[in-house]
Chain A
Amino acid sequence: MNVWIAIVVTAVGCYLVKYLGLSAPAGVLERPLVKRLAALLPVALLAALTAQQTFSDGGSLVLDAKAAGVAAAAVALVLRAPFLLVVGVAVVVTAGVRALGG
């Protein structure tokens, strides 16, 4: 049930911000500081989410096969690999390291 609450709240919230943007009169959110904050917020959140999902297990910090997989994904990104390949590399390397007992 908890999961459904999260799904409904996210769906409604995400739809409303999209609609708000499309319907708001021009200039409402055009203040430079607001725009810069809006551009920087996803950067902070995505960086935090990457770190959290790579190095955490529940509430504690861990260093396991996932870190190797994400590092390989980073190398793929530097080499300008396409999106799906980047994700694929992370999965394959993680599985490989786990299979070797990492």
Chain B
Amino acid sequence: MVRGVSEQTEIRSTERPVPPQPAAPAKPDSAVIRDALGVGVAVGLSGFAFGVTSAGAGLSLLQTCALSLLVFTGASQFALVGALAAGGNPLTAAAGAFFLGARNAFYGLRLSAVLGYRAALKPLAAHWVIDETTAVTLAQPDRRSARLGFTVTGLTLYVLWNLTTFVGALGAEALGDTRAWGLDAASPAVFLALLAPMLRTTVERVAAGLAVVLVMVTLPLLPTGVPVLVSALAAPAVLVVQGRRERVTENRTATGEDRS
């Protein structure tokens, strides 16, 4: 989906010629809004899966809705309710969710220059800094389109994500035993769907594989919630090994060529 956004954007900008601008080519507002709505609606609807999972994990309607309103970063929310459902310590559970949310800091860093919001507006805009708003915003050719894309994606996604969370949680409570309906499979399926597009290079695949091994080995040994945190060590471990290999290759070829 994230890939689709930039592709569509490119096609559209060639389809509709607009008066030439000195800097970047302008993009019609309607095209920006269409892109933003597409992403916002598609992803916003998956709040339903979160509502169902959270209620199935034993969180109350109020707790479930508070998470979508206040945390508003999907993977972290799923990670938190998953860890709580398994009986994890609240702080260990929060740590896993926090690590997953940390990538948003890097999105913010890239968006900051593109959006150019003044200091007073940043505390408000910050809440909407997530994967999807970043993808749409960075795909825009100029600041005006970027701001429009960010606002429309953020607003649509925030409203729909919270509405569908509420409906999903209500529905799951009405169903009773969510396990009988297979709803406990929603959460791992969501993680898998989020993970799949990230597995592009060997480094990413090795990190994922190592993380799986770490979590499976430590699961029976360590307190609930801790194995996932241990598995996060796969990331620095893979980078260290990769760094060493690069140094070896560099020494061998001595061409000073940049990394793979």
Give residues in A with beta carbon < 8 Å to B. Answer: 2-7, 9-11, 13-15, 17-24, 26, 28-30, 33, 35-56, 58-61, 65-66, 69-70, 73-74, 77, 82-84, 86-87, 89-98
Contacts and interface: CB of A to CB of B under 8 A. Distances in A.
Given A45-B231, A48-B231, A61-B216, A95 B182 contact: yes
A69 to B, nearest CB: 4
Main secondary structure of the interface of A (DSSP, over half): helix
A58 B223 CA distance: 10
Given A14-B101, A41-B103, A84-B46, A77 B192 contact: yes
Given A44-B210, A52-B227, A91-B182, A26 B90 contact: no
B31 interface: no
B219 A59 contact: yes
Given A48-B214, A91-B181, A70 B227 contact: no
A83 B103 contact: no
30 contacts: A7-B70, A9-B91, A10-B71, A14-B76, A14-B97, A15-B127, A17-B98, A17-B108, A18-B104, A18-B108, A23-B122, A24-B112, A26-B113, A37-B239, A43-B208, A43-B235, A44-B211, A45-B79, A45-B96, A46-B100, A47-B231, A48-B228, A56-B86, A58-B86, A70-B192, A83-B193, A84-B42, A86-B193, A90-B185, A95-B180
A27 B100 CA distance: 22
Contact of B182 (A23, A24, A47, A65): A65
Contacts of B49: 84, 87
Interface string B103-129: 111111101110001010011011101
B59 interface: yes
B94 A9 contact: yes
A37 B182 contact: no
A49 B70 contact: no
B168 to A, nearest CB: 11
Interface stretch (B6-14, B15-23, B197-205): B197-205
Interface string B188-231: 11111111101100011001111110111001100110011001
B188 A49 contact: yes
B116 to A, nearest CB: 11
Interface size class on chain B is 35 or more
B249 interface: no
B208 A21 contact: no
B239 A40 contact: yes
Main secondary structure of the interface of B (DSSP, over half): helix
A86 B14 CA distance: 33
B102 A94 contact: no
B234 interface: yes
A4 B63 contact: yes
B84 A49 contact: no
Contacts of B108: 17-24
A24 B126 CA distance: 12
Nearest to B214: A48
Contacts of A60: 219-220
A97 B4 CA distance: 34
Contact of A18 (B94, B105, B204, B223): B105
